[in-house]
């Protein structure tokens, strides 16, 4: 039981909701393992193969990388009818 008047963040409440729900389930631990494996695949494996580090492979120095990013952010957009 939580003390009265103490508020918790939304993310903490959502986490607690899922944690307690999975604890009540018979397959809760297995489902958590599946969720963690899927997150690992999404963020580690897919990033490694499908999202290479463009700036690191195309530019030699930090200054060239910074210039490229600044150019991409500040150049005008062509082909729009404003």
**Tens-place pLDDT, residues 38-70:** 999 888 888 888 877 888 889 999 999 999 999
pLDDT recorded at residue 5: 45
Q: Predicted confidence band at 30 (pLDDT cuts at 50, 70, 90)?
A: confident
pLDDT recorded at residue 4: 47
Whole-angstrom Cα distance, residue 42 to residue 48?
10
Question: Helices 28-40 and 10-24, interaxial angle, to 10°?
Answer: 130
Residue with tokens 């939304």: 10
Q: Six-digit token pair at 32? A: 């958590």
Q: Predicted confidence band at 26 (pLDDT cuts at 50, 70, 90)?
A: confident
Whole-angstrom Cα distance, residue 6 to residue 25?
28
Domain assignments of the chain as residue spans, ordered by start: 10-74
Whole-angstrom Cα distance, residue 13 to residue 21?
12
Check: pTM over 0.85? Answer yes or no.
no
């Amino acid at each position: 039981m939580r003390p009265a008047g103490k508020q918790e963040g939304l993310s903490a409440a959502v986490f607690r909701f899922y944690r307690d729900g999975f604890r009540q389930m018979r397959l809760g631990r297995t489902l958590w393992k599946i969720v963690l494996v899927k997150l690992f695949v999404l963020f580690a494996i897919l990033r490694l193969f499908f999202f290479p580090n463009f700036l690191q492979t195309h530019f030699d120095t930090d200054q060239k990388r910074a210039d490229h990013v600044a150019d991409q952010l500040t150049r005008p957009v062509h082909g729009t009818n404003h």
